């Protein structure tokens, strides 16, 4: 039980309310305000900036120190030594797999990568011009229609089957979103390929030819997925938890996470980076855009710079920067005008007093946007890639919540509307 206490006195309530204070394994203390409802008051915290909505053992972020840990392991070490799939196992199960567990897990995922043929019909119903996130949101929600046999969220084995299915099928569905848009046949997954190799195969092969994907690009894709795999209680993960708290099925919960991720303030930033680079268009205009970004009366912001949580540097961006250099060199496009603009922008921002003093460093989306563009992935698919990477995080949080005691999420409000009034007589 907690030793630390907080005391709260409220005008009009003639007593001091004593609240327990909890210490996590690291990070800030947390004041338990659950008893306040019994005293007739609520806390007010729009955007949940000061509120912990759950206990979790999955991911830890220290924004000031630039630390991101998955189950205690620093993201830089995972990016160097692990793979996306091994990281999925870690997020879901809490520990790195043994060799045997890893082989079992990889095999289990491999045999869930295909989607029911009926799913092809779903895609045929979408216009070719549909946004890939609109299609992804719809088809992932629809997956529950195919798996009535394993939807009991109270059963750990059903939860694991759902987790494996959704991790395995997301790359397939993501590639189908792309293929539908460009009017090419869907490519079936290949069981002899790794997850990221398979994804690039389903994206860029056709029945007529299957170009060999370079190991550098496979590694880049895998790292992008891994770096996005979880980010603790962000908007989409909190959405998955809130939906899950009602007992909704896992596919519906993941679809709600995809919907939340779609917003430009969350998953849309890497797309915005490319749009900005396109808009700048020429190195001669960079200075003009830097001035716009600094101008208080201009709403323009340098996309891919700054972060709500990481105030000194984004540890994922450090990893992604190295990958970015490797990919541009491998493809021989360092001198492509768009990438030259990106490099120059990065250099100016890192040296400019405005950006230094406000701690506005390039974030992961700045580099991942550039890498995805270099790999030939259209910008409209960037958020779908983010969703594919974030799926293990969403499902691990859903599983963690469903295996613990949880309450249906039900925030309160500060009501500012009319008080009771009579319906006007007619
Ligand atoms: N360009 C120019 N000025 C900026 C920028 C920027 N990108 N970001 C922040 N500022 C300024 C802002 O005007 C403010 O100035 P002042 O103190 O004079 O009012 C100061 O820096 C602090 O800004 P803030 O909005 O209070 O900072 P925040 O922590 O609330 O915002 C942010 C974080 C990510 C929303 C913001 O930096 C931003 O809009 N960046 C561009 C969009 C972007 O790249 N988003 C992706 C974030 S990573 C996504 C993920 O991890 O999932």
- Given ligand 1 and candidates 306, 345, 354, 363, which is best to mutate, with the most ligand atoms within 8 Å of its CB? 306
CA of 254 to the centre of ligand 1 (A): 28
pLDDT band at residue 2, thresholds of 50, 70 and 90? Answer: low
Residue 335 has pLDDT above 90, yes or no: no
* Global confidence as pTM: 0.94
**365 is known as an active-site residue:** yes
CA of 380 to the centre of ligand 1 (A): 22
Closest C-alpha to ligand 1, atom 32: 307
CA of 355 to the centre of ligand 1 (A): 10
**180 is known as an active-site residue:** no
* Distance in angstroms (rounded) separating the CA atoms of residues 144 and 255: 10
Strand arrangement of the beta sheet that strand 73-74 belongs to: 59-62, 67-70, 73-74
CA of 314 to the centre of ligand 1 (A): 13
Does the Cβ of 360 fall within 6 Å of ligand 1?
yes
Say if CB 368 and CB 323 are below 8 A apart. Answer: no
Say if CB 264 and CB 105 are below 8 A apart. Answer: no
CA of 297 to the centre of ligand 1 (A): 15
pLDDT digits (tens, 9 = 90+) for 369-402: 999 999 999 999 999 999 999 999 999 999 999 9
**266 is known as an active-site residue:** yes
Query: DSSP state, 266?
Result: T
Who's near 257: CB < 8 A, 6+ residues apart?
Answer: 236, 237, 239, 240, 243, 387, 390, 394
> Is pLDDT larger for residue 14 or for residue 102?
102
Closest C-alpha to ligand 1, atom 13: 296
* Distance in angstroms (rounded) separating the CA atoms of residues 36 and 51: 14
Q: What are phi and psi of 36, to 5 degrees?
A: -60, -35
pLDDT digits (tens, 9 = 90+) for 151-205: 999 999 999 999 999 999 999 999 999 999 999 999 999 999 999 999 999 999 9
Does the Cβ of 4 fall within 6 Å of ligand 1?
no
Closest C-alpha to ligand 1, atom 36: 306
pLDDT band at residue 6, thresholds of 50, 70 and 90? Answer: very high
pLDDT digits (tens, 9 = 90+) for 252-308: 999 999 999 998 888 888 888 999 999 999 999 999 999 999 999 999 999 999 988
Angstrom distances, CA of residue 289 to CA of 181, 281, 283, 352: 32, 11, 10, 13
Sign of the four-CA dihedral 195, 200, 202, 207: negative
Residue 350 has pLDDT above 60, yes or no: yes
**Cα 52 to the center of its chain, rounded Å:** 19
Of the chain, the percentage scoring pLDDT greater than 70 comes to 100
For residue 100, give the H/E element and its range: helix 99-110
Residue 1 has pLDDT above 60, yes or no: no
In this structure, are strands 30-31 and 73-74 parallel, antiparallel, or unpaired? unpaired
Averaged pLDDT of the chain = 95
In 250-310, where do the E strands start and end? none
Closest C-alpha to ligand 1, atom 11: 358
Query: Which pLDDT belongs to residue 127?
Result: 98
């Amino acid at each position: 039980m907690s030793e630390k206490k907080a005391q709260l006195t409220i005008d009009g309530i003639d007593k001091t309310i004593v609240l327990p204070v909890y210490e996590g394994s690291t990070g800030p203390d947390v004041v338990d305000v659950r008893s306040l409802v019994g005293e007739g008051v609520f806390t007010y915290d729009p955007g949940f900036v000061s509120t912990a909505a759950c206990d979790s053992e999955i991911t830890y972020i220290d924004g000031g120190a630039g630390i991101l840990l998955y189950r205690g392991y620093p993201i830089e070490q995972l990016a160097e030594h692990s793979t996306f799939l091994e990281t999925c196992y870690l997020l879901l199960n809490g520990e790195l797999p043994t060799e045997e567990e890893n082989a079992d897990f990889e095999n289990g995922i491999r045999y869930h990568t295909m989607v029911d043929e009926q799913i092809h019909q779903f895609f045929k119903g979408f216009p070719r011009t549909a946004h890939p996130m609109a299609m992804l949101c719809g088809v992932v929600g629809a997956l529950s229609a195919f798996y009535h046999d394993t939807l009991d969220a109270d059963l750990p084995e059903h939860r694991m089957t759902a987790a494996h299915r959704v991790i395995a099928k997301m790359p397939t569905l993501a590639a189908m979103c792309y293929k539908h848009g460009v009017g090419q046949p869907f490519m079936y997954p290949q069981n002899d390929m790794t997850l990221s190799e398979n994804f690039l195969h389903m994206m860029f092969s056709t029945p007529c030819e299957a170009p060999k994907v370079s190991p550098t690009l496979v590694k880049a894709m895998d790292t992008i997925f891994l770096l996005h795999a979880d980010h603790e209680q962000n908007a989409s993960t909190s959405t998955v938890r809130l939906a899950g708290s009602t007992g909704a099925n896992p596919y519906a919960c993941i679809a709600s996470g995809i919907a939340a991720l779609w917003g430009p303030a969350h998953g849309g930033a890497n797309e915005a980076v490319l749009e900005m680079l396109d808009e700048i268009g020429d190195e001669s205009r960079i200075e003009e855009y830097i001035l716009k970004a600094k101008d208080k009366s201009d709403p323009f912001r340098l996309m891919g710079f700054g972060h709500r949580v990481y105030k000194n540097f984004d540890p994922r961006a450090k990893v992604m920067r190295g990958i970015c250099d490797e990919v541009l060199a491998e493809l021989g496009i360092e001198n492509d005008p768009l990438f030259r603009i990106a490099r120059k922008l990065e250099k100016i921002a890192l040296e400019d007093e405005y950006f230094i003093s406000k701690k506005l460093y390039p974030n992961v989306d700045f580099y991942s946007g550039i890498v995805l563009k270099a790999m030939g992935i259209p910008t409209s698919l960037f958020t779908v890639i983010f969703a594919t990477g974030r799926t293990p995080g969403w499902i691990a949080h859903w599983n963690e919540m469903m295996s613990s005691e949880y309450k249906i999420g039900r925030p309160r409000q500060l009501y500012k509307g009319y008080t009771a009034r009579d319906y006007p007589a007619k």
